[in-house]
Amino acid sequence: QKEVEQNSGPLSVPEGAIASLNCTYSDRGSQSFFWYRQYSGKSPELIMSIYSNGDKEDGRFTAQLNKASQYVSLLIRDSQPSDSATYLCAVIRDYKLSFGAGTTVTVRA
Amino acid sequence: GAGVSQSPRYKVAKRGQDVALRCDPISGHVSLFWYQQALGQGPEFLTYFQNEAQLDKSGLPSDRFFAERPEGSVSTLKIQRTQQEDSAVYLCASSLVGGREETQYFGPGTRLLVL
């Protein structure tokens, strides 16, 4: 079992819709949780971080964390074609980041 | 420099050849990380430096992989006797001190192809 699992995708959503991404992790010692966006051929870019249970909103992005269920999610509201990318869920214990395989999102104009 | 830089951006090596990949972290960042990203996968941790000290090398796949950061700034990842399974993107990241709530900033990566 991989340490971080993401819904496999790819996920195709129409422009303006909500994209919903899910992630589970196996290490209960994980301390912080991140969502990175990676455009094809580019490096990962941090878009959201969340450290405690509940929701965190930043613009069109909302991250949710449930430590009891070992579950992290990302909602992208009002999806734009520029949101088309692979989204990587990552968890950290001390300094070590562990990533999921990513979910590829395509926003249809 | 504004961000993490890596060189070369692309490297083609013949099987058995040695390669060296360079990373220049963000100025002042104490912590430096190397990751390996295979096609269609997320990055996998290789090794971690705090200043010049290599505190964790548990992710290095074999003893053919070696990393150093002798002066606590620039780092080099060396792969000896490259194999086809070493083909991947090698990402370097840096952060201020390496804390669990800190952002790790990634460089553009070096795409290694071993023929």
Cβ pairs bridging A and B (under 8 Å): 54
Distance from CA of B28 to the nearest CA of A (A): 17
CA A10 centroid distance within chain = 13
Say whether pLDDT at B101 is over 90. no
Task: Tell me the pLDDT of chain A averaged across its residues.
Answer: 94
Distance from CA of B75 to the nearest CA of A (A): 18
Please tell me which of the candidates B33, B41, B109 has its beta carbon nearest to residue A43: B109
Say whether pLDDT at B100 is over 80. no
DSSP string, B44-112: EEEEEEETTEEEE-TT--STTEEEE-TTSS-EEEEESS--GGG-EEEEEEEESS--TTSPPEE---EEE
pLDDT level of residue A78 (50, 70, 90 thresholds): very high
Please tell me which of the candidates B31, B42, B108 has its beta carbon nearest to residue A99: B42
- The answer to whether the CB atoms of A100 and B42 lie below 8 A apart is yes
Which of B34, B47, B104, B111 to mutate against chain A (most A CBs within 10 Å)?
A: B104
Question: A47-70, pLDDT tens digit by residue?
Answer: 999 999 999 999 999 999 999 999
The per-residue pLDDT for A76 is 97
The verdict on B44 touching A (C-beta cutoff 8 Å) is: yes
Q: Quick one: tokens of A14? A: 């129409």
The per-residue pLDDT for B1 is 53
Question: B23-54, pLDDT tens digit by residue?
Answer: 999 999 999 999 999 999 999 999 999 999 99
Say whether pLDDT at B102 is over 90. no
| Phi, psi (deg, nearest 5) at residue B85 | -70, -10
Quote the percentage of chain A above a pLDDT of 90.
88
pLDDT level of residue B80 (50, 70, 90 thresholds): very high
pLDDT level of residue A9 (50, 70, 90 thresholds): confident
